[in-house]
């Protein structure tokens, strides 16, 4: 790619991802904690052919995501890390008109969901939860959304509107301790032509154990406790997309892309003795189970 073409793509990507709007989102009032610099991960704009554009997400120079489409292609927007291997990546997809959110764990990339329109800003509350505000107010077109995305719970939309709403308060639950000690609310300020609007999310914090559940008619993990292998039996009509195992501190132990069988066998002999949490993703649903390694 020539330097001229690269600069054109860079300007084009900036225009799509950071659109200047007539109204001014002032952002979250609270300060974000826990975000670190991580030079091992980066993204770059790419041009595959004269009409196909996109981006690469790289870890130590190796591609872990590549997204390319017919112009206008997707573009990377934001990359935030909470430790050496765990972070959140946001891109903008012009065809869908939405901001796409992924969680990065080492070289594994988990799609968390999307929020319509351009990214205004994001707030990483914990290693499992990110809030983002998206929208546009330009030449008669308006949208504004506030969305929570997590690898432990389903997507939750607080605002998803096409007309200005008055000050509003919402309630939510997050799992695991927030990075900012004592944080129990987020305030997003949006300034329109006549007023500054305050959209507030009040949340309580639950531990991982609070969402571990297993119902008779649901997925089954046997044996439990276990020493070498566990088997996951799923309902016949549910195909698991991915399996994530975390220890009781929330650290990733294993991440597996699942096949389409209803029985999964996972080796756990290499795990230390203790309590673990197994996260299953199937369809648009995520479910959490607790098991014990002996």
Please, how many CA atoms are within 13 Å of residue 15, restricted to the half-sphere of its CB? 8
Per cent of the chain over pLDDT 90 is: 26
- In the β-sheet with 229-233, what is the strand arrangement from edge to edge? 220-222, 229-233, 263-267
pLDDT in tens, 119-135: 999 999 988 899 999 98
**Could you tell me if 248 and 215 are in contact, meaning their C-beta atoms sit under 8 angstroms apart?**
no
210, pLDDT greater than 60: no
What pLDDT does residue 181 have?
87
In CATH terms, 212-293 corresponds, of 3.30.360.10, 2.60.40.3080, 3.40.50.10310, 3.90.650.10, to 2.60.40.3080
The residue with greater pLDDT, 91 or 287, is 91
Q: Does the pTM exceed 0.75?
A: no
**Could you tell me if 212 and 206 are in contact, meaning their C-beta atoms sit under 8 angstroms apart?**
no
235, pLDDT greater than 70: no
**DSSP state, 13?**
H
Domain residue ranges of the chain, discontinuous segments joined by + = 3-206, 212-293
Contacts for 89 with CB less than 8 Å, ≥ 6 apart: 43, 57, 65, 76, 78, 79, 101, 102, 103, 104, 109
Torsion of CA 268, 272, 273, 279, to 10 degrees: -50
Per cent of the chain over pLDDT 70 is: 83
The residue with greater pLDDT, 125 or 214, is 125
**Could you tell me if 255 and 244 are in contact, meaning their C-beta atoms sit under 8 angstroms apart?**
yes
Across 157-163, average pLDDT: 86
From CA 226, how far away is CA 16, in angstroms rounded? 51
- Three-state DSSP class for 181? coil
Closest CA to 125 of 145, 106, 153, 84: 153
**Could you tell me if 88 and 130 are in contact, meaning their C-beta atoms sit under 8 angstroms apart?**
yes
One-letter-per-residue 3-state SS of 52-114? EEEEEEEECCEEEEEEEEECCCCEEEEEEECCCCEEEEEEEECCCCEEEEEEEECCEEEEEEE
Across 71-98, average pLDDT: 90
3, pLDDT greater than 50: no
> Per-residue b/e over 130-166, b at no fewer than 16 CB within 10 Å?
bbbbbbbbeeeebbbbbbbbbbbbeebebbeeeeeee
Angle at 236 between CA 234 and CA 237, to 5 degrees: 105
9, pLDDT greater than 60: no
Cis check: omega of the bond before 257, within 30 degrees of 0? no
194, pLDDT greater than 50: yes
Tokens of 166: 């008055």
Strand bridging mode 141-150 / 129-138: antiparallel
In what helix (H) or strand (E) does residue 9 lie, and over which residues does it extend? helix 3-17
From CA 37, how far away is CA 40, in angstroms rounded? 9
55, pLDDT greater than 70: yes
What pLDDT does residue 249 have?
67
In what helix (H) or strand (E) does residue 15 lie, and over which residues does it extend? helix 3-17
Distances (CA, A) of 182 to 29, 87, 152, 203, 248: 15, 22, 21, 11, 21
């Amino acid at each position: 790619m020539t330097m001229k073409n690269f600069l054109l793509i860079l300007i084009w990507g900036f225009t799509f991802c950071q659109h200047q709007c007539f109204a001014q989102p002032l952002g979250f009032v609270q300060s974000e904690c826990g975000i670190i610099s991580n030079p091992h991960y980066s993204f770059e704009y790419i041009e595959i052919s004269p009409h196909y554009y996109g981006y690469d997400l790289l870890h130590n120079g190796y591609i872990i995501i590549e997204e390319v489409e017919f112009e206008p292609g997707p573009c990377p927007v934001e990359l935030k890390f909470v430790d050496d291997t765990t972070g959140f990546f946001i891109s903008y997809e012009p065809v869908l008109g939405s901001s796409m959110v992924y969680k990065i764990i080492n070289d594994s990339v988990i799609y968390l969901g999307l929020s319509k329109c351009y990214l205004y800003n994001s707030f990483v509350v914990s290693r499992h939860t990110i809030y983002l505000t998206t929208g546009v107010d330009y030449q008669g077109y308006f949208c504004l959304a506030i969305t929570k995305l997590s690898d432990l719970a389903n997507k939750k939309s607080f605002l998803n509107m096409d007309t200005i709403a008055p000050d509003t308060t919402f309630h939510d639950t997050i799992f695991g301790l927030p990075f900012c000690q004592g944080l129990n609310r987020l305030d997003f300020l949006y300034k329109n032509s006549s007023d500054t609007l305050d959209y507030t999310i009040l949340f309580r914090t639950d531990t991982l154990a609070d969402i571990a559940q297993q119902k008779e008619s649901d997925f089954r993990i046997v044996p439990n406790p276990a020493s070498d292998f566990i088997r996951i039996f799923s309902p016949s009509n549910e195909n698991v997309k991915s399996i994530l195992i975390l220890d009781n501190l929330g650290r990733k132990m294993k991440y597996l892309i699942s096949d389409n069988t209803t029985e999964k066998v996972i080796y756990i002999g290499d795990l230390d003795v203790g309590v673990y949490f197994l996260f299953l993703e199937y369809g648009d649903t995520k479910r959490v189970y607790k098991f014990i390694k002996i």
